[in-house]
């Protein structure tokens, strides 16, 4: 880890902390919630060894990057703008792109809006969902799962932060990362995260040192920046109306664990395997479902995920 370089880059009116290592064709890794650049630590080292320039920022709102106070500053357009400015600052014209969770959502939209900056995409966990012109996304989740669904619970500024504050940060991080329940996460207000049972013992792929790293950063920064991505979902829906109906025309591969909550949302498996995703991402070349693997697949199965990514990017 000591070989990884850390820099601060000014882009789109904010400062982003960027971790990078290696030289060669550039790969940009995008994390999700509640993650940091650190979630890609093993891939950074592996791809540097394979002859790539591996780059992983803390996205706006996270870690050592700036956190604008308003949730209105966290639309997908803001974050894609951050990344375009980041590439410009690094002198990178076109990049191999890898996303996970919210990073996957941002990666899909970067390929939609700026396909000229992306050579190829490997996205994980979250499929591309075309914009529904008649239903805002938070409203759709509420109709599907009810008001206790975690995305709905995250909407009110300050409310879930108060809940999180009543739980030891290490326990909270452990609980997020080690969940193996593929069902929809619904947290009644009367229970809250504070009322959930203690998480199990750490799995082999997640060490006390790892948990401490995350806990220290989130204790310093707080969770509001990451939560603001959820609070900007409906605003992103409004602002992306000009791209409604467009296909994503970048060579792509999609990877998901079969225990991932995203893979078990009703209709998602059919959408992926019966042609729905391919309709909207026509250059989708591969879909990989990793058996017995949960949401944080790049940490749970780092070598396998690296092999899947390298096997695809090495074609270009």
Instruction: Please identify every residue annotated as catalytic.
Output: 101, 230, 295
Token duo for residue 314: 């090495």
Give the distance from CA 222 to its chain's centroid. 18
Edge-to-edge order in the sheet of strand 118-124: 5-11, 14-21, 53-57, 26-30, 95-100, 118-124, 252-257, 284-290
DSSP string, 213-262: HHHHHHHHH-SHHHHHHHHTHHHHHHHTGGGTT----S-EEEEEETT-TT
Tell me which residue has tokens 């960027």.
18
Distance CA 76, CA 229 (A): 8
Are 15 and 92 in contact by the 8 Å Cβ rule? The answer is no
Distance CA 29, CA 237 (A): 24
Exposed (0-12), middle (13-18) or buried (19+): which is 80, by Cβ within 10 Å? buried
Query: Quick one: DSSP state of residue 291?
Result: T
Token duo for residue 55: 């780059």
Which helix (H) or strand (E) is 119 found in, with range? strand 118-124
Tell me which residue has tokens 């706006």.
60
CA end-to-end span of the chain:
28
Residue 64: strand, helix, or coil: coil
Closest by CA position to 202, among listed 221, 215, 216: 215
Residue 211: strand, helix, or coil: helix
């Amino acid at each position: 880890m000591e070989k990884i370089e850390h820099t601060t880059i000014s882009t789109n009116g904010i400062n982003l902390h960027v971790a990078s290592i290696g030289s060669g064709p550039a790969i940009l890794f995008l994390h999700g919630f509640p993650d940091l650049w650190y979630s890609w630590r093993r891939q950074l080292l592996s791809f540097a060894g394979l002859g790539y320039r591996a780059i992983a920022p803390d996205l706006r709102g996270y870690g050592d990057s700036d956190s604008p106070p308003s949730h209105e500053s966290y639309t997908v357009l803001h974050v894609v703008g951050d990344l375009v400015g980041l590439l410009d600052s690094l002198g990178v014209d076109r990049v191999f792109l890898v996303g996970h969770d919210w990073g996957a959502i941002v990666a899909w939209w970067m390929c939609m809006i700026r396909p000229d900056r992306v050579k190829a995409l490997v996205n994980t966990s979250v499929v591309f969902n075309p914009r529904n012109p008649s239903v805002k996304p938070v409203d759709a989740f509420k109709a599907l799962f009810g008001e206790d669904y975690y995305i709905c619970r995250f909407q009110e500024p300050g409310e879930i932060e108060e809940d999180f504050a009543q739980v030891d940060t290490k326990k909270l991080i452990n609980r997020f990362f080690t969940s193996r329940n593929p069902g929809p996460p619904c947290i009644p207000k009367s229970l809250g995260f504070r009322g959930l049972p203690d998480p199990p013992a750490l799995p082999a792929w997640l060490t006390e040192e790892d948990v401490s790293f995350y806990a220290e950063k989130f204790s310093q920064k707080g969770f509001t920046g990451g939560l603001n991505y959820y609070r900007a979902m409906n605003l992103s829906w409004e602002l992306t109306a000009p791209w409604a109906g467009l296909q994503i025309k970048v060579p792509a591969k999609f990877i998901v664990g079969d225990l991932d909550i995203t893979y078990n949302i009703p209709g998602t498996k059919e959408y992926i395997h019966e042609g729905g995703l391919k309709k909207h991402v026509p250059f989708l070349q591969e879909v990989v479902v990793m058996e017995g693997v949960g949401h944080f697949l790049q940490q749970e199965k780092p070598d396998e995920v690296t092999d899947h990514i390298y096997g695809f990017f090495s074609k270009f």
